[in-house]
Amino acid sequence: MKQEEYIPYSAEKMDGIKNKVQRLIRIVNELEEDFPGRHFTLDGHLVGSIGEVIASYYYGIRLYTASMPAHDGEVDGKRVQIKITQQEDIVINEEPEYLLVLYLTKKGDVYEVYNGRGKAPWESASKRDSHNNRHMRVNKLMELDGSVLSKERIKAKNPIEKMKKEYKNRKK
């Protein structure tokens, strides 16, 4: 693996980081006030909670208490695991009854990647890690989504566009 050259950061850059993180923390506090019961901490809950409240809006999902195992909420008697990503894959650690996967672009647009029963994605996961987490590629989920019957989907209450490969965030 190629190692980058060490470039010392200036005190001004460090002050800049502190100021930007403080702005992020203010935004997190606002989000937590707007959506009680969701945690938007910068340590990993932020994107997940964003996905949960977005899914709640688009699909009418009643969210469970934050950090429940296997499922994030339910709608029409269906228990749903909600995932959102800006990357190439998602990770789940239990087979959900229903799986809803969203994609968040760097511009803030959200698209539906997968909407259906959790069994097919769970069984077709490309790799499992030492904690039995299963990793699923966005492209594979889009492919699997194409075979989901309409009656097996979570009905959208508000229109949301399907994900297309050209919407993916570009790596720099």
Which tokens hold the place of 35? 């959506």
Whether residue 5 lies inside any domain: the answer is: no
Are the beta carbons of 95 and 118 closer than 8 angstroms?
yes
Range of the domain at 51: 12-163
Structural domains in the chain (count) = 1
Decide if 99 is inside a domain: yes
Q: What is the pLDDT of residue 3?
A: 47
Q: Does residue 114 sit within a domain? A: yes
Give domain status of residue 170, yes or no: no
CA dihedral 17, 23, 27, 28 (to 10 degrees): 50
What pLDDT does residue 2 have?
52
Strand partners for 80:
73, 98
Report the alpha-carbon distance of residue 70 to residue 130 in Å, rounded: 18
Q: Domain for residue 7, yes or no? A: no
> Can you give the pLDDT at residue 5?
61
Confidence (pTM): 0.83
Give pLDDT tens digits along the chain (172 positions): 454 565 667 778 878 888 898 999 899 899 999 999 888 877 767 888 899 999 999 999 999 988 788 899 999 999 999 999 988 999 998 999 999 999 998 888 999 999 999 999 999 987 777 777 899 999 999 999 999 999 999 999 999 999 999 999 887 5
CA dist., res. 34 & res. 121, Å (int): 32
The reply to whether 2 falls in a domain is no
| Residue 3 belongs to some domain of the structure | no
Quick check: 168 and 148 in contact, CB under 8 A? no
| Strands (E) located in 8-128 | 62-63, 73-75, 78-85, 89-92, 98-104, 110-117, 127-128
Residue 168, in any domain of the structure: no
CB burial of residue 139 (10 Å; 0-12, 13-18, 19+): middle
Query: What is the H or E stretch that residue 96 is in?
Result: none
